[in-house]
Structures are given as structure tokens and as C-alpha cells.
Amino acid sequence: MTSPSRSKAWQKLASHYLNLHHNGTTIAGLFQADASRGERYQCQLDGLFFDYSKNLMTDDTLATLRELADEAGLQQAITGMYRGECINTTENRPALHVALRTPLPDADPAFNAAANETLTRMSGFVDKVHSGAWTGYSGKAIDTVINIGIGGSDLGPAMVSTALQHWRLPQMRSFFVSNLDPAHMRQTLAQANAETTLFIVASKSFGTLETLRNAAIARRWYLDEGGDEALLHRHFVAVTANTARAQEFGIAEENVFPLWDWVGGRYSLWSAIGLPIALSIGMAPFRALLAGARRADEHFRDAPFERNIPVIMGLLSVWYGGFAGATSQVVLPYSQELHLFPAFMQQLEMESLGKSVDRDGNRLLVPSGPVVWGSAGSNGQHSFHQLLHQGTHYIPADFIAIVHTHFEADAEQHRRLLASCFSQSQALMQGKSQRQAFNELLAEGMDEGAAYALAKHKVVPGNKPSNTLLLEQLDPQSLGTLIALYEHKVFVESVIWQINAFDQWGVELGKQLGEQVFTALNAESDCDRFDASTNALINRSRRHE
Ligand code: F6P
């Protein structure tokens, strides 16, 4: 496999970027030169509007990025994924999260069949819980769901359930426990009643330390609270690809919802890992979430690259990482309901693309996945946006905004939120020159000397790129589309960088060492087998425990 940096398009992009730089091209200048820029660089997918005009790019940039995609075989790679080819080569399996929401005529029908069968089972279970036919040990209906999982078995369902609070059924409460810190589970249990609580133990492997330990606390708590051991099956269900281990833990076989090795953890919220979502909002909205994702799948598969949202997003990410020196990207949902979206995106992008070797195991010669971070706007404006505007790092931003609020009485305040969002991308792009700052200070009555000195601190360089994704409203369908577009964006990046986006070997080392350190913490005598720092931390903890 030859490095993407050796391709013709990559080399063209390198000199194109230098030209833009040397010519002092700015995004604001490109807008001044082309009145139609805003209209030309936008796409619409149902109620989702994608504005990518505030990027440092021209038609030439986009055309060359598409050449790069062609040289990398992006179209064939997309077709291969939808066909169920074995694209996760290090684990010898396909990556078929699309099969969970979209019929795939060219793939083995067993994938779609398994997905549909599971949806039907989920539906039956959700109906029983909601109707009160499924009761706890004392005969009361379930009103609290506690999902125990971590990583992909937590972040997706937690993010979606939080984002769709507006759809939450009034009789259902849901909690998500992930952290190994027992405080997380204990503080959650303090809010629950064992008679009416259902635990979902969500773990693809059913071997994840955090999840198994938290599930053990939950089981003990249930019994301590007076729960009937014989009726434990009414309070514990599992979602896993490892039924045998779930049964060993004590979960009845009929309470195990399947997951498959062809669905990666971070791509799994569409499967039975989404059970807490369906229990919270109901099956029809859950199906609408899948339908929204299906729209993104069809768009990704069928739209020409010049109008293909994930392709454009992915190529722009490659552009900034490969040529402009951007090492991070910020995700800014201007929506409290989407406040967990950046955390979800961190796993999606960084676990998929945080790799240093290509699919053949050769060292990458180009920078790969960026650091992804962010939080809900407008909060960030009063903390880290300072660095976005005036810091020395170059950080492309994705703004996500919702036109309609669910709180109509506060429509005007919501309009202020939108104004904050749109003006932030504007400020990042246009900045403020020293002359502007100086004149403003003079107009405020400051004397020239002081204005000159202060103006230097008020300079905002601008020319910082951003995308804006504007959703008409936040509902299950639009959320499904949004998430799936980002999944595909990650796939595009992985194809260009020639990375396997579906494995995560890097996390294993920490797990191995964790076991050894745990043994040392429990030992009778002081530890001297590791480095001096780790030994000291272990020994100090042992003495003070
Ligand atoms: O350790 C990383 C990881 O394997 C993630 O990829 C995964 O989403 C998470 O742990 C949880 O894994 P599981 O669902 O098998 O418990």
C-alpha cells in the first residue's frame, strides 16, 4: 500500500495549500470575491442544512480533494462496506452497522435478517415493559432503567437518550452507569427502587472490567434491598455478543439480546445497545432514529461526491490535518440537549482514527485522526473560545444548531442562542484587525497612545474555518441522520489515510497493565517490579488505604 502522500493529488494539494498561504488567501476574502459562495457551498438532506462555505477552500481545493478520494478508491470502499466485505482486516470481519438500519441488497441477507429479528424482539420487550406486563419481583411495573456499559455500550445510547429527552415517556426514567469509580453506581442506585428497576448489562464482549464490576454491585444491591434471587431475571437483561458469559453472570438466556462481531462498539447504538433509548422514548421514535440514519446511508452511497455531505466533511478534515497543520477539531453543538454529542464524537473519531499504521501495518507518513473535543454552546464562549479566536493553534470547528426549540415560550431566547452560534463562526472567519481595534478604542474616547498599545491585544486573526450543520428541529429522525453522517465522515477519513477504522488495539495495553497493577495493590509487600513512579504510587496507596 503506498502512502497517500505519494499520490498525485496529495502533492497537488500540498502546493495548492502553499499557494493559498503565500497569496494571503482568506476565507473572508473569498466571500468578498464571490457573491455566490454561500449558496454554492451548501447541501441539504431533508431537514438538515450543511453550510461548508466558511472553509479555507476554493473550487480547485475541492476538485483536488475529490481526485484524492478517487485515487484512494473511496467509491469502491463505500461499495465494499455496503456489500459486507471484510474491511476490518485485523479482526477478520466486515463493519456492517449500516445493516442495522438500511436494507443491503448486495450483502449477505443474514445481516439484515439478524438486525430485523432483534428489532422485533426489542419491540416485544419494550411493549411488555411499557404496558406493565413485565413487572419486578414484587409485581410492580418497571419505571427505572439503569444501563451498565462503557465506551460504545454507553456513550451512544446515553447521548441519544439525553438528546431525545423531549420524547421521554413520563413513566420511564433512565440512568447510564459507566465509570469504574463505585461512586457512579452507588450514587445512581441511591435514586432507584429495587422493586421497579431494570438493569441492562450492555457489553459486546461481556468481558469489560468496568461493566462487570458495576453489574456485580447492582446485583448485590438488588439482593440487599430485598430482591428475590429467583426473580432476578425480571431485573437484569443483557446485550452482548457473548451469551455464554452473560449466562455465567446469571442472566437468563431469554433475557440476552444479541450483538454481533460485525458491529463495532462505537457504531452499535442502532442495535440492541439502543434498548435503553427504546425503553425511554418508545419503539416508534427508535425506528424513526433508524430511518434518519437510513437517509444518511442512502445519501452517502448514492450522492455524487460534490454533493455528498460526509465525503465533503471527511475530505475537509484531511485537508486541514494534512496541509494546514490542524491537530484538533472542535465540535460545538449549540444545544443543551446535544451536550453529550462531543463525548460521543470523541470515541467515534479518536478510537476509529487514532492509529499510526495503515491497513497493511506500514507506518503512516501523514498525520491521522485529530484530537476531537468540544462542549455545548454557548457555554464554551465563556471559557475555551478565547483560544479558538486568539490562540496559536489552528482548530477547525463544526457548529451544530437547531432552528426550532422545544420550548416555544422561550423562542426569543432560543433565537439568541442561534445568534451566538452564527456569530461565532462569523467571528472565527473575519476576526478583527489592529486598525479596527484601534479605531474602536479611539471612538470610545481613549487617547492614541493607549489605544495603540491596547489594540495589539484586541487583534483577532480570523481566517479560522468552520462547518455549520443546521437542523430544522431535533427529533429522532434528524438525530439519526446527524449521527450517521458523522459515522460516514470518519469512514471517508479512514479510506484516505488507509486506516482500519474498526479496530482499537491501543486500548488493550492499558487493560493488561491494569491487571498487573491491581495485583500489586493487593499484595502483602511493597512493589518494586515497575518503574519508580508507578511503584511509589502503588506503595503510597497501599499504606494510606
Ligand atoms: O476498550 C475499548 C472498548 O473495547 C470499546 O471499543 C468498546 O466500545 C468498549 O470498550 C466497551 O466494550 P464492551 O461493549 O465489549 O464492554
* Residue 218 pLDDT: 98
- Calculate how far, in angstroms, residue 96's C-alpha sits from the geometric centre of ligand 1: 17
Nearest Cα to 309, choosing from 48, 23, 542?
48
- Calculate how far, in angstroms, residue 234's C-alpha sits from the geometric centre of ligand 1: 26
Q: Contact at 8 Å (CB) between 321 and 353?
A: no
Phi, psi for residue 543 in degrees, rounded to 5: -70, -35
Half-sphere exposure of 336 (CA within 13 A, CB side): 8
Residue 264 CA to residue 90 CA, distance in Å, equals 13
* Residue 544 pLDDT: 84
Residue located nearest, by CA, to atom 3 of ligand 1: 151
Containing 470, the helix (H) or strand (E) segment is strand 466-471
Is there an atom of ligand 1 within 6 Å of 54 CB?
no
Indicate the top mutation candidate among 205, 500, 502, 511 to test ligand 1's pocket, ranked by most ligand atoms within 8 A of CB: 205
Which atom of ligand 1 is nearest to 202's Cα? 14
Point out the residues that are catalytic: 351, 382, 511
Which atom of ligand 1 is nearest to 150's Cα? 11
**Which residue ranges form the domains of the chain, and what is each CATH number?**
4-72+303-430+464-503 (3.40.50.10490), 97-287 (3.40.50.10490), 506-543 (1.10.1390)
Please tell me the chain's helix, strand, coil percentages from 3-state DSSP, rounded to the nearest 5: 55, 10, 30
For the chain, helix (H) and strand (E) counts, in that order, are 22, 11
- Calculate how far, in angstroms, residue 293's C-alpha sits from the geometric centre of ligand 1: 22
Is there an atom of ligand 1 within 6 Å of 153 CB?
yes
- Calculate how far, in angstroms, residue 205's C-alpha sits from the geometric centre of ligand 1: 7
Q: Contact at 8 Å (CB) between 322 and 461?
A: no
Residue 203 CA to residue 245 CA, distance in Å, equals 10
Is there an atom of ligand 1 within 6 Å of 211 CB?
yes
Amino acid at residue number 68: L
Is there an atom of ligand 1 within 6 Å of 97 CB?
no
- Asked whether the bond before 533 is cis by omega within 30 degrees of 0, the reply is no
- Calculate how far, in angstroms, residue 469's C-alpha sits from the geometric centre of ligand 1: 29
* Residue 227 pLDDT: 97
Given a cut of 70, the residues of the chain with pLDDT beneath it are none
Is there an atom of ligand 1 within 6 Å of 151 CB?
yes
* Residue 471 pLDDT: 98
Nearest Cα to 160, choosing from 313, 44, 314, 273?
273
Half-sphere exposure of 46 (CA within 13 A, CB side): 19
